[in-house]
C-alpha cells in the first residue's frame, strides 16, 4: 500500500463507520433524515455543485451534480437504507482482519462512503465535471419511492450509472433475473374442526395448489445446491403463509401465501404470471406485490478494462439471481456498471466489507471517470 492508499483507506473506513452508526432502517425515518443531513454536511464545502432533495411518500432522495441542466455523463448511485435487525443495539461497527464489520457495511454504506469521497474529490479537483451522485432511502423495500421515483417521475437522466450494489470487485453483473412477488389468496367455508365435512378448508386447499406450483418449478427447473454460480433458471419460494384463523378447532375460511418467484430471460412477467395463474387454478386470487422483468445491464466494456488494469486480474461477467435498483435505470435505457468491493454476510449482523478492496474500487471508479470524461 502506498501512503496515498493508506490515507484513503482510513478516510473511507472512518466515513463508513460513521454511516453505520446511524440506523437508517425503514421503521426509523428520523434516522434516515439524520443520515441525509450528515451526508449533506459532507458535501456542503463544495461550492460548485447543485444539491437537490426529493421526497416521495416519506422517502427522501438526494441528487447532487454540476450546476447545469444537462444530465451528468456519469452518475454514482447508492442507497442509505439498511435492513432491520431485531436487536436495536446492533448498529455499530468493528475492524477485524482488514474488514469493517457491521450492519450495512457491505450493503451498502461502505460503497456510499467511496462514492461520497470520490464525488467530493473529483468535483474539488475538476469543478463542473459531468459527474452526479444520487442517494436513495428505500432500496431494501423495492426502490419504488427512490430510484423508480427519480427516474420515472423526477426525470433523472445520465449517460451511464455506476451502482456498487451487486457483483464483486472482479465480477461485473451483466444480467439480472426478473421478479414476481405474489400474494395468493384462497377463500373457503368455516366449520367446527371436528366436522370437516361441513366446511371448506381454505388453508389446506391453498397449500395444495401452492405445492402443485412448487412441484412444477422443481420438475422443470430443479435447484442444484452444489453449483456455486449461475443458477440461471426460474425458482419459486414460499415465504409467508397466513390465515386470520386463531382457533385450533375452527376450519379457516381464508388463507394467503406469499411467493417469491425469480426468472431469467426469455421469461417475462406477463408469461410467467399466466403460467403461475393456470397452475394455481381459478379458485386462487393472485395479487402481484412487486414485478420486474429480467434485464440486461449493458455495462461499459471500458469499465471492465479499467477493472482488469487496476486489479491485475481478469473480469468475470456474471448473471445475478437478485434484482437491484438498476432495473429502473434500464427501463429508461440508461446503461449500468454493477460491481463492488469485496463484501460478505450481507443482511447479517456480521456483514462486512474488505478495506483494501474499497481502496481498489475507488481507484477503478476514479480511472474510469477520468477516461470517460477525458480528464486526468
Ligand atoms: Zn443494496
Q: Of 247, 276, 292, which residue constitutes the final position of a domain?
A: 292
CA distances from 48 to 59, 121, 123, 162 (A): 26, 12, 8, 22
**Cα–ligand 1 centroid distance for 111 (angstroms):** 10
**Average per-residue pLDDT for the chain:** 95
Q: How far apart are CA 337 and CA 315, in angstroms?
A: 13
The string of DSSP letters for 243-289 reads -S---TTB--SEEEEEEEEEE-TT--HHHHHHHHHHHH-TTEEEEEE
Do residues 32 and 56 touch, judged by C-beta distance below 8 A? no
What is the 107 CA–ligand 1 centroid distance (Å)? 5
CA 121–ligand 1 middle distance (angstroms): 24
Give residue-wise pLDDT tens across range 121-136: 999 999 999 999 999 9
- 278 Cα to the center of ligand 1, angstroms: 34
Tell me which of 292, 314, 332 is where a domain ends: 292
pTM for this structure?
0.89
- Looking at residue 3, its pLDDT comes to 85
Distance 104 CA to ligand 1 centre (A): 8
Report yes or no: 253 and 276 within 8 Å, Cβ to Cβ: no
| Residues 47 and 166 reside in one and the same domain | yes
Higher pLDDT: 85 or 314? It is 314
Can you give the residue range of the structural domain that contains 44? Answer: 3-175+295-372
CB atoms within 10 A of CB 90: 13
Domain count, the chain: 2
Q: Cα(138) to centroid of ligand 1, in Å?
A: 10
Residues in the chain: 376
Backbone angles phi, psi at 186, to 5 degrees: -135, 135
Q: Are residues 272 and 153 in the same domain?
A: no
Instruction: State in Å: Cα 79 to ligand 1 middle.
Output: 7
Q: Which three cell numbers stand for residue 91?
A: 448498529
For residue 287, report the distance from its CA to the centre of ligand 1, in Å.
26
CA of 271 to the centre of ligand 1 (A): 28
Which residue in the block uniquely carries the three cell numbers 426529493?
Answer: 54
Q: Each residue of 26-47: pLDDT tens digit?
A: 999 999 999 999 999 999 888 8
Please give the Cα distance from 31 to 84 (Å, whole number). 13
CA of 206 to the centre of ligand 1 (A): 33
| Domain CATH code at residue 62 | 3.40.630.10
Question: What does the alpha-carbon distance between residue 300 and residue 303 come to, in Å, rounded to a whole number?
Answer: 5
Regarding whether 167 and 269 lie in a shared domain, the answer is no
Same domain as 157, residue 187:
no
- Confidence tier at 96 by pLDDT (50, 70, 90): very high
For ligand 1, a single-atom ion, the residues with CB < 5 A are 107-108, 165
Domain end: 277, 292, 307, which one?
A: 292
Amino acid at each position: 500500500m502506498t501512503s496515498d492508499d493508506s490515507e484513503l483507506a482510513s478516510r473511507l473506513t472512518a466515513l463508513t463507520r460513521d454511516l453505520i452508526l446511524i440506523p437508517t432502517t425503514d421503521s426509523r425515518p428520523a434516522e434516515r433524515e439524520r443520515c441525509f443531513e450528515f451526508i449533506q454536511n459532507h458535501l456542503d464545502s463544495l461550492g460548485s455543485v447543485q444539491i437537490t432533495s426529493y421526497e416521495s411518500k416519506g422517502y427522501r432522495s438526494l441528487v447532487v451534480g454540476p450546476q447545469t441542466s444537462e444530465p451528468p455523463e456519469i452518475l454514482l448511485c447508492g442507497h442509505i437504507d439498511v435492513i432491520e435487525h431485531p436487536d436495536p443495539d446492533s448498529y455499530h461497527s468493528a475492524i477485524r482482519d482488514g474488514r469493517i464489520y457491521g450492519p450495512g457495511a457491505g450493503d451498502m454504506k461502505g460503497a456510499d462512503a467511496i462514492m461520497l469521497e470520490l464525488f467530493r474529490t473529483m468535483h474539488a479537483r475538476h469543478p463542473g465535471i459531468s459527474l452526479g451522485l444520487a442517494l436513495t432511502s428505500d432500496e431494501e423495500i423495492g426502490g419504488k419511492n427512490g430510484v423508480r421515483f427519480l427516474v420515472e417521475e423526477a426525470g433523472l437522466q445520465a449517460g451511464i450509472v455506476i451502482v456498487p450494489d451487486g457483483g464483486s470487485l472482479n465480477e461485473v453483473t451483466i444480467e439480472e433475473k426478473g421478479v414476481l412477488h405474489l400474494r395468493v389468496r384462497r377463500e373457503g367455508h368455516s366449520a367446527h374442526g371436528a366436522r370437516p365435512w361441513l366446511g371448506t378448508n381454505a388453508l389446506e386447499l391453498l397449500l395444495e395448489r401452492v405445492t402443485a406450483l412448487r412441484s412444477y418449478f422443481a420438475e422443470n427447473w430443479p435447484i442444484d445446491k452444489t453449483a456455486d454460480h449461475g443458477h440461471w433458471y426460474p425458482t419459486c419460494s414460499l415465504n409467508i403463509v397466513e390465515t386470520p384463523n386463531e382457533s385450533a378447532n375452527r376450519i379457516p375460511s381464508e388463507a394467503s401465501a406469499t411467493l417469491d418467484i425469480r426468472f431469467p430471460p426469455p421469461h417475462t412477467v406477463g408469461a410467467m404470471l399466466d403460467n403461475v395463474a393456470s397452475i394455481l387454478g381459478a379458485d386462487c386470487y393472485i395479487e402481484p406485490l412487486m414485478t420486474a422483468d429480467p434485464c440486461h445491464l449493458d455495462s461499459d466494456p471500458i469499465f471492465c478494462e479499467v477493472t482488469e488494469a487496476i486489479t491485475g486480474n481478469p473480469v468475470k461477467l456474471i448473471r445475478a439471481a437478485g434484482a437491484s435498483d438498476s432495473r429502473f435505470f434500464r427501463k429508461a435505457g440508461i446503461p449500468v456498471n454493477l460491481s463492488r468491493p469485496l463484501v460478505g454476510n450481507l443482511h447479517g449482523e456480521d456483514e462486512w466489507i474488505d478495506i483494501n478492496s474499497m481502496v481498489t474500487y475507488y481507484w477503478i471508479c476514479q480511472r474510469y471517470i477520468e477516461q470517460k470524461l477525458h480528464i486526468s
